[in-house]
Amino acid sequence: MSKVSLNAAAKLAGVSKSTISKGIKSGLISYSERNTSGYQIEIAELARVYPVVLENMAEPVAVQSPGPIADTLGLAHANQLLKQRLDAAEEQQRRTDAVLEDIREDRDRWRQQAAALLSDQRSQPASHSDQYERDTPSSSPAVPGFWSRLLGRS
């Protein structure tokens, strides 16, 4: 991360150096190191406390950066690996979408079949139970109840 001095941090935040210093001493702002030239404050830490910092970044400020990245070959390899993982994830997503589409088609076919079966049952004039009741004789002799038999009433 980029680090700035106390003076540059005050300019970025739009406050005085004493305000930044008090913030460091109270623990509101953390600093990454303190050397003979003073505090070194991370810009991200400063932006956390003072959101105005991001707006003031257009002004030239002396920023200490860690230096150029020397391992470009390693980064290119990591980039290639990430591209391969992205391609694999996109292929998996395509397969998942195809399976989902097949499942939806199956669902729609089952739904149509169920609707056809239901409409066939509703269109029949009588159910099987009605036909059974019509075929069985309903004129069976009435059997007297328990109390009628007990008391001799028939």
Query: Residue-wise pLDDT tens for the chain (154 aa)?
Result: 578 888 888 888 888 889 888 988 888 888 877 878 788 888 888 888 877 665 655 555 555 555 555 567 778 888 888 999 999 999 999 999 999 999 999 999 999 999 999 888 777 665 555 555 555 555 667 788 888 888 887 6
The per-residue DSSP string of the chain comes to: --EEEHHHHHHHHTS-HHHHHHHHHHTSS--SEEETTEEEEEHHHHHHH-TTHHHHTTS----B-------HHHHHHHHHHHHHHHHHHHHHHHHHHHHHHHHHHHHHHHHHHHHHHHHHHHHSSS-HHHHHHHHS---PPPPP-HHHHHHT--
Per residue in 84-125, pLDDT tens? Answer: 999 999 999 999 999 999 999 999 999 999 999 988 877 766
Question: Model pTM greater than 0.85?
Answer: no
For the chain, the structural domain boundaries read 3-56, 76-122
Looking at residue 57, its pLDDT comes to 59
